[in-house]
A = this chain, B = another copy of it.
Amino acid sequence: MILGAAGAAVLAFDVGGTDMKVGLIDAEGNVLGLRRVRTPRDPNRPADAILDRVAELARELGAEFPGHPARAAGVIVPGIVDPESGVGLYSANLGWRNYPFTAEAERRLGVPVAFDHDVRSAAAVEHHYGGSREFDDVVVMVVGTGIAAAVFSGGKAVSAGGFAGELGHAQVPDPDGGGTAILEAVGSAGAVAKRYAAHAGTPVSGAREVLERARAGEDLAARIWADAVDALAFSICQCVSIIGTEAVVIGGGLAEAGEELLEPLRQRVDQMLDFHRRPVILRAQLGQDAGLLGAAMNARALLAESPDADASAATDGAA
């Protein structure tokens, strides 16, 4: 099991725009009772509705696995997240602003809560156990419907009060207009499907279909795919120029294209850079559960940092 040997049993909650993934990680690091449930959407109390459901699920798991009492919980969410203050500053998709997640989750769950950003937490696990672990200066990009990223500099995650890693909203040259667009509007899996449909005048099932059409020799599909590669390469080169990024890990739906994405991406990055060091560009190794594992890792780290918060957890000795 990826979370390593002995540690406290912890609850992990990965809150996404559509679904929440939930699990109880036992002392040995096994995920018990893994489930995926609908994320509740309440426009009037968006974060409260989610944490009410989190508390309900915690009770269910507690009843199901009475031999594994959780000593802490990890909760991860999208948007702008400040883990230090425990506040979810902003989520365009889920609708909260400045919500005190740590305090509210601790009140409901009765255990210490490690609250953090979903992609940064998943990326920390990826960076810890995946192909980039030998590098100190790393960017992990999750390229799906949108684009989120986690930045590591000198071996440490860069948070900047929750504002780092917003590569999806960084500007890139706009292949349609000659001005600029945001990376997410050109380089994401969502954008590949959407831009193809807009240019072709017919809908398409997704980025995968565009890739298949490109493979079959269709010019428009090949161009849309190349635009996405160019946009991703542009943003990667910005990271290299600004913070000397040595390795880039690509996950999310678009990374399922494997070398059909990565190889042209390496070529474009190489062309765009001057004297800079070329970054290694790798595919993420961890799958969809990286977020859940990240939440669990955060919870264990919290116990390891403040053993006094829970004496019995301290004796379990999180590594």
Interface residues of A (CB under 8 A from B): 80, 90, 92, 136-137, 139, 149, 151, 153-154, 156, 158-167, 169-171, 173, 178-180, 182, 234, 237-246, 272, 274-277
Contact = CB atoms under 8 A, between A and B. Distances in A.
B244 A242 contact: no
B158 A153 contact: yes
Number of copies: 2
13 contacts: A149-B242, A153-B164, A161-B246, A162-B244, A165-B242, A166-B240, A166-B276, A173-B179, A178-B178, A180-B234, A182-B274, A238-B238, A243-B243
A90 B275 CA distance: 9
A160 B275 contact: no
Given A92-B275, A154-B156, A276-B169, A164 B234 contact: no
A272 B239 CA distance: 18
Contacts of A275: 80, 90, 92, 169
Contacts of A182: 274
Contact of A160 (B92, B154, B237): B154
Given A151-B243, A160-B246, A165-B242, 10 more contacts: A80-B275, A137-B161, A151-B242, A162-B244, A164-B244, A169-B276, A170-B238, A170-B241, A238-B242, A243-B243
Q: 9 closest Cβ contacts across the A-B interface?
A: A160-B244, A163-B244, A170-B241, A164-B244, A137-B160, A238-B238, A166-B241, A178-B178, A163-B277
